[in-house]
Structures are given as structure tokens and as C-alpha cells.
Amino acid sequence: MSATSTVVTDKVITDIPPRKNDNSEIIKKHDDIFALVEKINASHSLLTVTINNEEAGYGSTILEINSEEKYMVLDELNPLDGHEKIETGSIIRVNTQHAGALVRFKVAIEAIGGDDEAAYYKVALPERIEYHQRRNWFRVSIGINETVPVSLRTEDDVVISAELRDISVGGMALRINDCAHVKIREGDFIPSCVIKVSEHKQIMAALNVCRVQNIRESGMLRIGVQFVKMNNADIRELEHFVAEMQREMIKKLRRVKSD
């Protein structure tokens, strides 16, 4: 059965418009890099940080930028298990959003500091920044202690229970704990998916499977999917949910300093 002929719900389903080619730019000049990270800092934008080559993303923000000595200070990663993985020399990849565009760069951890309340990381200003005019790439990670249940129904009518790990308006990453009976491959089409946003709200969509990863240590399965069919009401709910998750992450990252 093809994706174009599948009906997900009894409501009108619209294909999500295909993504256009990126209007991408590589920024290499120091003054341009400094100006851009200053704007990101001024807007208190959330950073999504991945460590070394891991898939898991963690939230952070910029605390300080020093143009003359060419370094930045980033706030402690959230959830806290990210901080436990950081060490001097770790390579981190940073994704954030500015003026509707995705900003991506890679830096190394030069030093780790902090106190009993929170840690911070000193990193060099990036030598290059990728600037993509594509709004729906930005991902928001779900806290390790938070649970957003997701129900999948395959073309063979098999129901799979999963948990949301990160999400954007273009797709999401899911963790499947009980995966003994699960047979999912890259390229599969999932005609029905329900994201339980809250007790009274849910998002429904059809999905394409883009990535499948077996986590041997835990016996879990992690999959990356792209939204391909969704009605207009669910699209609006998805955009609202992603924006709310981003605001909540930023609130968690802002440190309350005592007088």
C-alpha cells in the first residue's frame, strides 16, 4: 500500500509539503561568527547539544562570549545525564535556531567549571558555522524523566508502543522499550501514529522511517521518523507543542541566582 493512498483518520488528511532545497551558507569569518552567536545569545535561544557521535540531544544556552580571546561559555546540559558524559576534549555538536534558520556548529570542550548549583563549559568560538534557511529542522529533546507516549500502527496492523525522545515540526525520534516483536526497517511507511501530548490532547500523523538503531546495552530500539501526512489541526497542534517544549527547556536552563 502506498503512502498516498492510506487514510490515517476519518478527518481530511493533507500531505505535508515536501521540503525545498536548503538555502545554506557556511560562515567562516571571525567577525561574522561572533556577530551571529551574539544574536543567538541575546535572543536566549535554546541550544540542542549532542556529545561526540551519540544520537541523544541535551539542552543548553550561551552564558558568555569573549570575542578577543575567541571563546564561549555554555550552561550545564539538561537533562543532567548529559553533564556526566562531558569531559575535557569532548566534541559537541550544537544545533539552534535564529530568525527562522537552523544554525549548526562543532566545538571541543576546553574546560569544565561550576559550583554546587550548576556547571558550565568553556569552548572555543567555532571556526565555521552552517546556516540553513530551513525552519523545520530544529529539534527539542525530551527530558530523561519525562514520558510522552506514542502509539504506532504498522501497515500489517501491528500496534507498537513507543516513547518520544526528541521532536521537530518535520519529524521525531522514538524509543521502543519492548522491541522483541517489532520489525521496523529504514524506508518503512507507518500509516498511523498517535502522540499523547497531554490527557486531553493528541497529535495524529503518518510517518516514514528514516533511521533504525538497536541499542545493545539496553535492548531498546531507537527510530527516527519523518511526518508525511497530517491534517491542518494536527499540524497546528504539533507546532504549538514544539514551541511549548522549547520554552519549557529554556526555563529549566535559566539559573535562579540568589541575591
What CATH number corresponds to the domain at position 205?
2.40.10.220
Phi, psi of 89 (to 5 degrees): 100, -15
Mean pLDDT of the chain: 81
Say if 197 falls within a structural domain.
yes
For residues 133 and 48, what is the distance between their CA atoms, to the nearest angstrom? 17
Identify the three-state secondary structure at position 71: strand
Same domain, yes or no: 11 and 30: no
Predicted confidence (pLDDT) per residue in 66-97, tens digit: 988 999 999 998 887 788 888 999 999 998 87
Same domain, yes or no: 92 and 9: no
Say if 108 falls within a structural domain.
yes
Express as a percent the part of the chain with pLDDT over 70. Answer: 82
Domain end point (choices 111, 133, 155) = 133
Say if 9 falls within a structural domain.
yes
For residues 171-186, average pLDDT: 83
Contact 196, 204 (CB under 8 A): no
Same domain, yes or no: 162 and 99: no
Same domain, yes or no: 44 and 129: yes
Residue type, 84: E
Total domain count for the chain? 2
Domain end point (choices 102, 133, 164) = 133
For residues 76 and 82, what is the distance between their CA atoms, to the nearest angstrom? 9
- What global pTM score does this model have? 0.56
Q: Is the pLDDT of residue 10 over 50?
A: no
What CATH number corresponds to the domain at position 53?
2.30.110.10
Predicted confidence band of residue 23 (pLDDT cuts 50, 70, 90)? low
Give the pLDDT score at 73: 95
Give the pLDDT score at 131: 85
For residues 158 and 154, what is the distance between their CA atoms, to the nearest angstrom? 5
Same domain, yes or no: 178 and 223: yes
Number of H-type helices and E-type strands within the chain: 3, 17
Same domain, yes or no: 147 and 248: yes
Predicted confidence band of residue 133 (pLDDT cuts 50, 70, 90)? low
Burial class from Cβ neighbours inside 10 Å (0-12, 13-18, 19+) for residue 154 reads middle
Same domain, yes or no: 126 and 183: no
Same domain, yes or no: 100 and 171: no
Give the pLDDT score at 137: 57
Give the pLDDT score at 93: 92
Same domain, yes or no: 233 and 161: yes
Q: Are strands 171-176 and 220-230 parallel, antiparallel or unpaired?
A: antiparallel
Q: Is the pLDDT of residue 134 over 60?
A: no
Domain span at residue 175 reads 3-16+142-253
Same domain, yes or no: 105 and 200: no
Domain end point (choices 101, 133, 165) = 133
Say if 258 falls within a structural domain.
no
For residues 37-52, average pLDDT: 87
Q: Is the pLDDT of residue 259 over 50?
A: no
Say if 106 falls within a structural domain.
yes
For residues 206 and 222, what is the distance between their CA atoms, to the nearest angstrom? 18
Say if 29 falls within a structural domain.
yes
Say if 168 falls within a structural domain.
yes
For residues 177 and 114, what is the distance between their CA atoms, to the nearest angstrom? 35
For residues 131-147, average pLDDT: 70
Residue type, 130: E
Same domain, yes or no: 106 and 152: no
Say if 259 falls within a structural domain.
no
Same domain, yes or no: 218 and 120: no
Residue type, 221: L
For residues 37 and 30, what is the distance between their CA atoms, to the nearest angstrom? 11
Chain-centre distance for alpha carbon 148: 14
